[in-house]
Amino acid sequence: MRLWTIHPAGVWEALQEEGKLLVDERHLPSFGYVPEQYRWLVNQLTCRIPGYPGSLPWWSYTKKPDLRSFRFLRPAGKEVRIELELDAGEFVVFPAWAWNQVLCQHYLSVSGGEYVKWEKRLRSVVPDEDLYPLPQPWQSELEKSWERLFEPTLPPSPVMGTWGTSDTVAVFGILRLGNVRQITPFRGMQRLNV
């Protein structure tokens, strides 16, 4: 399957030198903070992708990103869009809206009615919406709902009570030079105020 991933040009340079790369948490722009939902995802991928290395995943798009608009979402400087060809079983695909539900610690439902019903039950027992992790059995129910992320029957578009696009994303464990089909350099235009 063709996938596209976007990174600073230094990732492409390192890939050419090393031949393969794992995500290096020391170079993430989050000052070393990795939300627990990403750790949950790593555990799931370890069970679902044979030989998954146990590192944070590489994220990619299943549709070629249009750099005319995408350049304004990337930090100012040299960037690269890497086109890859991966074999089935090396990656997992899911709707971007569904990952947003997981990342925001929301219940992942297949219908708006199911989402509203679960939230109503939860808030009748746990009124503090900022409490995380949730007390049991709520946390287990929440994380069980997240496993729907990997079901092919998950709606491609957001359901009521969620937000996001109908885009799909793919995650995989190892970025390999041998999977690269094309490189497109570009300049990021976003100015970050820190």
The predicted model scores a pTM of 0.90
List, in order, residues 6 or more apart from 139 with CB less than 8 Å away: 133
Same domain, 17 and 41: yes
Rounded CA-CA distance 192/29 in Å is 12
Same domain, 64 and 110: no
- Over the chain, what is the mean pLDDT? 91
Q: What are the tens digits of pLDDT across the range 69-88?
A: 878 878 788 999 999 999 99
pLDDT of residue 78: 94
Q: What are the tens digits of pLDDT across the range 1-58?
A: 999 999 999 999 999 999 999 999 888 877 778 999 999 999 999 999 999 999 999 9
Rounded CA-CA distance 36/34 in Å is 6
Same domain, 1 and 83: yes
Phi-psi region of 53 (alpha: psi -120 to 50; beta: other; left: phi over 0): alpha
Same domain, 108 and 133: yes
- Considering its fold, how many domains does the chain have in total? 2
Same domain, 7 and 76: yes
Same domain, 2 and 83: yes
pLDDT of residue 102: 96
Rounded CA-CA distance 13/125 in Å is 52
List, in order, residues 6 or more apart from 55 with CB less than 8 Å away: 22, 23, 25, 42, 173
pLDDT of residue 143: 97
Strand order across the beta sheet in which 180-188 lies: 91-95, 168-172, 58-61, 2-8, 77-85, 180-188
Same domain, 8 and 75: yes
> Which range of residues forms the domain containing residue 76?
1-90+173-194
Same domain, 6 and 76: yes
